[in-house]
Chain A
Amino acid sequence: MLMCRDLARIASDYIDDELGTAQKLSVKMHLMMCRHCRSFIGNLRASTDLVQAHSSGKPDPELVRRIDEQVAQALDAKKTDDFT
């Protein structure tokens, strides 16, 4: 039988739907009987959503400035090349 610890090991696979049919079924059975594991799955899912919402999508401004500069230089060089 699937114990809580076993379920905790494969919880992400369950969330991402990466389990085989038999394993998925035994997780579902366990979840019906165990509120702690239901809460763990819910918590793990919510943590995942949190990372998505947070998504640290802001690049370092200093790095962006350097890249802009280099790209602008390279574009200029290319334009001069094309004319000669």
Chain B
Amino acid sequence: METATHQSEEDILIQGLKSGNEADFQKAVRLYTPGMMAVGRYYLDNASAEETVQDCWVSVIDAIQNFEGRSGLKTWLHRIVANRAKNHLRKNKREVSADFSEALEPELANRFHPNGRWATPPSLRFDEDAESLMENGALSDCLDQHLTRLPETQRSALMLYEAHQHKSDDVCNILDVSASNLRVLLHRARQKIFLMVETFQETGEC
């Protein structure tokens, strides 16, 4: 039921974009730019990513005519950004670097006895659900800061997978990583967020 409504809303928006309706473009820009920036930032610095996302929106005016809806609009837009960003990288002969070798965050790896048992077990208590926790402005700000400080590769993977609810295959495709490397990026990012919330609960500080 929910997906059906969602689907038709997207269809209406696509129709509006195809007919060049400015208000529909404004709506789509607000809806999809955060995800597109997450893709862009995986490959590029902030200024180049913004430039790429801007160019993408202008190119969408024509490209949308050929959009057949086999993938969702979001995935289609994310692929356009990824392709452009990769071209940009090639031109500037840069590469994305990330460490895929270790699944454990060093800060967490320190918390085990040599025999592999917990020496400093997790102390976090979650008595409230995520929605009500986020009403705590200080925690929300702290999460913002830590998300900003994550390595781009980890942050983009986390954003596309969690916040934009892409399937693993889509994320691998958009970010050009293998399935196992995506698992490492996600796991490392989640551990950092866990460590942050734990510190925040223990000390009340970010």
> A residues engaging B (CB < 8 A)?
3-6, 8-13, 16, 18, 36-37, 39-40, 42-44, 46-60, 63-64, 66-68, 70-72, 74-75, 78-79
Contact = CB atoms under 8 A, between A and B. Distances in A.
Contacts of A13: 183, 187
Contacts of A39: 121-122, 124
A47 B116 contact: no
A9 B104 contact: yes
Contacts of B1: none
Contacts of B34: 56-59
Interface of B: 20, 22, 25-26, 29-30, 33-34, 37, 50, 53-54, 57-58, 61, 103-104, 108-109, 112, 115-118, 121-122, 124, 126, 129-131, 133-134, 140, 143-144, 147, 158-159, 162-163, 168, 183, 186-187, 190-191, 193-194, 197-198
B121 to A, nearest CB: 4
* Most chain B beta-carbon contacts within 10 A, residue among A11, A39, A44, A59: A59
Given A4-B112, A43-B122, A71 B134 contact: no
25 contacts: A3-B115, A3-B116, A5-B109, A8-B104, A8-B108, A9-B187, A11-B187, A12-B190, A46-B126, A46-B197, A50-B130, A50-B193, A50-B197, A51-B190, A51-B193, A53-B131, A54-B140, A57-B34, A57-B163, A63-B53, A66-B54, A67-B33, A70-B54, A71-B22, A72-B22
A56 B33 contact: no
Contacts of A11: 187
B131 A6 contact: no
Contacts of B20: 75, 78-79
B190 A53 contact: no
Contact of A37 (B25, B29, B33, B118): B118
A74 B194 contact: no
Contact of B126 (A42, A56, A71, A72): A42
B191 A44 contact: yes
A72 to B, nearest CB: 6
A79 B21 CA distance: 11
A44 B140 CA distance: 17
Contacts of B191: 44
Nearest to B114: A5
Given A43-B126, A53-B131, 17 more contacts: A3-B116, A3-B117, A8-B108, A46-B126, A46-B130, A48-B190, A50-B134, A50-B193, A51-B193, A54-B140, A56-B147, A59-B37, A64-B29, A71-B22, A71-B26, A71-B58, A74-B58
